Amino acid sequence: MTHRLPLITTKLHRPPVSGDHVARPRLTRRLHHGLARPLTLVCAGAGFGKTTLVSA
């Protein structure tokens, strides 16, 4: 018997970026450089803007 976990649809779409977010050009550049690698890990504490950075 195979048990299937429910699919969380909010995890399939990136959240919208508001117009008043703080631009982080240095972090954005580092994130873009990571595109050439097989995996990029974005690690920081809660509320530090990881999702906003990746969405932008």
Q: Which residues contact 44 (CB under 8 A, 6 or more apart)?
A: 50
Tens-of-pLDDT digits for all 56 residues of the chain?
677 877 777 777 777 777 777 888 999 999 999 888 999 899 999 988 888 888 88
Domain layout of the chain by residue ranges: 23-56
- pLDDT for position 1: 61
User: What CA–CA distances, in Å, run from 46 to 4, 19, 43, 49?
Assistant: 29, 21, 10, 8
Residue type, 32: H
Do 44 and 30 meet the contact criterion of CB atoms below 8 Å apart? no
Assigned token pair, 48: 């530090």
